[in-house]
Amino acid sequence: MAENRRPKPPRGPMGGHGMAGGEKPKNFKGTLKKLVKYLSAYHVAIVIVMLFTVGSTVFHVVGPKILGKATTEIFNGLIGKINGGAGIDFEKIGMILVFLLGLYALSAVFSYIQGFVMSGISQKVAFRMRKELSEKMNRLPMSYYDKRTYGEVLSRITNDVDTLGMSLNQSITQLISSVATVIGVLVMMLSISPLMTLIALLILPISMILIAVIVKNSQKYFKQQQEYLGHVNGQIEENFGGHNVIKLFHKEEDVISAFEKTNESLYNSAWKSQFFSGMIHPIMQFVGNLGYVAVAIVGGYLNIKKVIEVGDIQSFIQYVRQFTQPITQIAQVSNMLQSTVAAAERVFEFLEEEEEEQYSNDHAMIEENGTLRKVRPQELVGNVSFENIHFGYDPEKIIINDFSAKVKAGQKIAIVGPTGAGKTTIVKLLMRFYDLNQGCIKIDGYDIKAFDRSELREAFGMVLQETWLFKGTVMENIRYGRLDATDEEVIAAAKAAHAHHFIQALPGGYQMELNEDATNISQGQKQLLTIARAILADNRLLILDEATSSVDTRTEERIQKAMDNLMKGRTSFVIAHRLSTIKDADLILVLKDGDVIEQGDHKTLLEKNGFYANLYNSQFETGA
């Protein structure tokens, strides 16, 4: 449909820029500032999250030392019993355990509250971003979408926002908790024994070096895994989409062979990445066990010297275990933060894209009862004039040069020419999908720039060669042309479009639900429904882009009669390839290489024996 535009990159999973593992932002600091500013709307809730996270961590960290006191009581009681004393003081141990249980309960309550609040924040942020992205999409010029794939735009609304929502929920609380745990555990360890703390800290660099070596080797395989996963997804979508063509040309073996090569590459990179990442846990365990042995030996010696109690050794071993875990989490959070900021960067880039002007600064006005008011779209009669138009998708390459034409209300205007001549470009300019480089287009004497873009487009009805139907009932799809239409008006529109008969034959009739791509009805039936939708809309200006190209000859004749009735009293712009369908047009614009080289009615243009005559005769000779 689109002509004289830059070619669009292919659609599909490989077209988008979904978040790959380890993706880094271009401007980390700048984007982080924007993200912090964006989150400032929730600063009270974030402060609450921070307080409750720290509180939960503190209660959890204090627990092992108190449990150590219970262990000390049991040990001292046993020793006392052996030496003829009173034995174990179960009442005191019970009080310690009840107090400990209370601490852990408080920690759990605080953790639940911060989790509840943080989940709300992350989902509110995701909701707000999706809303802003959705609104932004409608304010961007068509040129933005011409330069990008659908997958790239979709990725920002789905992948990037999901990444932000999930990572915000995890990273903020985990970062606060991990830092608080490291500090708290270090303080508790020092309070028990500085010497044992030093030994535990000496073992830490060994584990960090080993992890760094593993991560360095595994990262390249993770990147390869993401890359080949994208290739596999792309091949699967492509093969299923073109399954009939593959069967027709007997290319099953070639397709399977190509898929097996990609799948083999994915397998090799996946198992290597999983193997290396799987080594981290056992290595950490091994190094941790070395630390426990060292702590047990030194702790036993210090206990013999009466420097620390037996329960302190048990508490310290628990703290050693707690100390390494948050450090690993901080490393994971830092990596997650890179992905979060990279996702935020792409979202903010989209939100900061230059928008087209949606509203007019100088509205089309009409006098009523001595006062001026805006002209309403439904009040337009349909006189259209093109005055000295110059336009190019690239300002350096003008494709329409000094085109002028006058169209009276109710006339049928046909736009014809070879593929790529610029037929659809004229329509896009008329609806202000693009703005002119020079000249102006007027409707009823008002420059189209004097209308808000939404108001201008409200004056047009459109039936395109590419049908668009959504998941919903047949009735809902037709009513999309005018949402306040009654069932009777919908049915009347369907009858006028010669769609009523086939709709009644469908299972469920008007209440049958079309699937996502409307593949449960034929292409011709889709076209009939879009025509019915345009009839129901009842606009003063119509645009028909080869609206009958997908139906059989007999149905085309019936639709053509219905379209003729529809176009009576309305200004209609008809893009046509089959010239036999527009012989009755009041004005025919003949385009070639973007320029209008001829204009007039069918008879006049044939008498000129120019480009149109050659085009018409060639179609007639070939039976087109």
Residue ranges and CATH numbers for the domains of the chain are: 28-351 (1.20.1560.10)
What are the DSSP E strand ranges found in 249-393? 365-368, 371-374, 384-391
Q: Is-contact 504 453, C-beta < 8 A?
A: no
Nearest to 346 by CA among 14, 12, 20: 20
> From the first residue on, what is the mean pLDDT of each consecutive set of 10 residues in the chain (624 residues)?
37 37 69 88 90 89 84 78 74 86 91 90 90 87 77 78 83 85 88 87 77 75 76 79 80 87 87 80 77 84 84 83 76 77 87 82 74 79 88 83 85 84 82 88 88 85 79 91 90 87 90 83 83 85 73 68 73 81 85 83 89 81 48
Position 23 scores a pLDDT of 60
> Which uninterrupted H or E stretch holds 514?
strand 513-514
Residues pairing with 541 in the sheet: 460, 571
Q: What is the 3-state secondary structure (H, E, C) of 393-442?
A: CECCECCEEEEEEEECCCCEEEEECCCCCCHHHHHHHHCCCCCCCEEEEE
CA distances from 261 to 235, 266, 267, 496, 588 (A): 11, 9, 10, 55, 55
The one-letter amino acid at 94: G
Instruction: List the structure tokens of 306.
Output: 């009466």
Position 3 scores a pLDDT of 39
Q: How far apart are CA 434 and CA 426, in angstroms?
A: 10
Q: Is-contact 196 302, C-beta < 8 A?
A: yes
Torsional sign, CA 573, 577, 580, 581: negative
Nearest to 456 by CA among 434, 486, 438, 439: 434
Position 5 scores a pLDDT of 38
